[in-house]
Chain A
């Protein structure tokens, strides 16, 4: 086993895959945390799927699909962000429409493009085993941008996530902060697309924060723990897919899904154990545990 791991590490593609997994997990840990506490999983899904329109556009006009995906997901992120902020009702409907139309546009544009389209599926389902070194540098740069933006705007992002009305009344430019957030989501989506594909971006963005939320006391810790959990999932999934010869993106997501199920089971078991063994004065804390289940994500 150890030998075959070392053997695998001889390959450039495997080393790049591992590095890509780490870089993507860090971005997803930080941005996914903000997505989960702001409850904007749906808009993130919209951004991810609309990005396929950018891939189609790039194929049609013959430029780098990553560039296409970045431009298109930035545009769709800003569009959906503005819709979310300006129309109070039915913004989810409009996001749903953009989600589907972006994707359809991509498919039609690719239909219209002549020639052989070999790596098309890789944008949908990920291709972590074929990440070139140049992409790693791009991922590193995007990670640094995300880290810098979140650090600089942290107190505003935290306040906006926790209590938007109060933050507005404090004269914080909440709309600007929100648009920065959706732009950061767009950048993360494009990065993650290389690893697990557009269709499964949401899982890597939301599952690690959903697990870590219950383990930490501060949002910063949630970001760090989510990143670590993400690294564990991508590494486990990558090795499993390597040894079992399975699609790596889907294997990573299934590992993450199993991790989530495991964390739910452990939390449930802990709670029922506590309710039998905890003295009366801890009832307040117990209350908080029971209501943990109520928010619908």
Chain B
């Protein structure tokens, strides 16, 4: 697999980041190439959300640099379709699925401009891709968690992103919906580069193309396997990981490139 021929979408170079005097991320270097499907796993408090904030230009790195399609994060983030972690939200907020998905067009339709017919067509397509078009008139508060996650994915798709970035996409979703969301992402990956961050080791390992481990430092070799070195560095104890149900082939020592392009 020669990575040199494929364009680089996201480049993180020796980034250190944290809050005030506390450093949470140390010397993170990561290159995301077109058509990648990267899953980063790591324990809670390992800096997953901090890394997302740095990539989105919401947190300035203490050292190092983030480039999205060659641009600084605060400008280049417009190429990222961001799917936030599902948080508890105000279910009484009067807003429809359609209106939420339309927010994806804010990137292209600036201040003082209305959404056009072209915007509507893109939003419609995005909702269709996540199989939520028939719910477009429903208030977002009446959806299940998994359905809401699909709408947020549609909103991210409506930005016409180069990179889809998901923060814990299946955190509070039931197992059946979890599978269907990962299958959806796998399908979307045929066209879009995807990076997701999760503590859901088993699911990540089954669906993504390459896996990295994040715990203050990032262990990523653009490979599908989680090596014992990564495991030990991140979790200290590999047995703990296996007990959580990691498919066997992922921890197998021999490389297998099935599913790579």
Binding-face segment, B90-98, B123-131, B183-191, B225-233:
B90-98
- When A156-B106, A159-B106, A162-B103 are in contact, do A218 and B91 touch as well, CB less than 8 Å? no
* B90 adjacent to A165 (CB under 8 Å): no
1/0 contact string of A257-288 vs chain B (CB within 8 Å): 00000000000000000000000000011001
Residues of chain A from 129 to 170 with CB closer than 8 A to chain B in the complex: 152-153, 155-156, 158-159, 161-163, 165-170
How many Å lie between the Cα of A173 and that of B94 in the bound state? Answer: 23
Question: Nearest CB to that of A286 among chain B residues?
Answer: B142
For residue B94, which residues in chain A have a CB less than 8 angstroms away from its CB? Answer: 37, 213, 216-219, 221-222
* B93 adjacent to A156 (CB under 8 Å): no
* A165 adjacent to B103 (CB under 8 Å): no
How many Å lie between the Cα of A167 and that of B155 in the bound state? Answer: 11
* A173 adjacent to B111 (CB under 8 Å): yes
How many Å lie between the Cα of A294 and that of B142 in the bound state? Answer: 15
- When A152-B112, A159-B106, A168-B58 are in contact, do A295 and B90 touch as well, CB less than 8 Å? yes
* B91 adjacent to A291 (CB under 8 Å): yes
For chain B, the bracket of interface size reads 35 or more
1/0 contact string of B94-109 vs chain A (CB within 8 Å): 1110011011101101
- When A217-B96, A222-B94 are in contact, do A169 and B82 touch as well, CB less than 8 Å? yes
For chain A, the bracket of interface size reads 20 to 34
Taking a contact as CB atoms closer than 8 A, the residue among A153, A163, A213, A288 that contacts B84 in the complex is: A163
How many Å lie between the Cα of A284 and that of B78 in the bound state? Answer: 34
For residue B88, which residues in chain A have a CB less than 8 angstroms away from its CB? Answer: 294
Most interface-central of A153, A158, A173, A292 (chain B CB within 10 A)? A158
How many Å lie between the Cα of A83 and that of B7 in the bound state? Answer: 42
Q: Is A246 an interface residue (CB 8 A)?
A: no
- When A163-B84, A284-B142 are in contact, do A170 and B102 touch as well, CB less than 8 Å? no
Question: Nearest CB to that of B147 among chain A residues?
Answer: A284
How many Å lie between the Cα of A155 and that of B84 in the bound state? Answer: 20
Most interface-central of A163, A292, A294 (chain B CB within 10 A)? A163
Q: Is B153 an interface residue (CB 8 A)?
A: no
Q: Is A245 an interface residue (CB 8 A)?
A: no
* B58 adjacent to A155 (CB under 8 Å): no
* B91 adjacent to A169 (CB under 8 Å): no
Question: Nearest CB to that of A37 among chain B residues?
Answer: B93
Taking a contact as CB atoms closer than 8 A, the residue among B78, B104, B115, B142 that contacts A171 in the complex is: B78
Question: Nearest CB to that of B104 among chain A residues?
Answer: A170
* A158 adjacent to B99 (CB under 8 Å): yes
How many Å lie between the Cα of A216 and that of B139 in the bound state? Answer: 10
Q: Is A5 an interface residue (CB 8 A)?
A: no
How many Å lie between the Cα of A295 and that of B89 in the bound state? Answer: 8
Q: Is A9 an interface residue (CB 8 A)?
A: no
How many Å lie between the Cα of A161 and that of B194 in the bound state? Answer: 27
How many Å lie between the Cα of A222 and that of B95 in the bound state? Answer: 10
Binding site for B on A (CB under 8 A): 37, 152-153, 155-156, 158-159, 161-163, 165-173, 213-214, 216-219, 221-222, 284-285, 288, 291-292, 294-295
Given contacts A168-B56, A288-B139, A292-B91, 4 further A-B contacts (CB under 8 A): A166-B82, A170-B106, A171-B75, A291-B91
A-B contact pairs, 18 of them (CB 8 A): A37-B94, A155-B102, A159-B103, A159-B106, A162-B100, A163-B103, A166-B155, A167-B103, A169-B56, A170-B106, A170-B159, A171-B75, A171-B107, A172-B106, A218-B96, A288-B91, A288-B139, A292-B92
Closest 7 CB pairs of A and B: A170-B106, A170-B107, A159-B103, A288-B142, A288-B141, A288-B91, A295-B90
Binding site for A on B (CB under 8 A): 56-58, 75, 77-78, 80, 82, 84, 88, 90-96, 99-100, 102-104, 106-107, 109, 111-112, 114-115, 139, 141-144, 155, 159
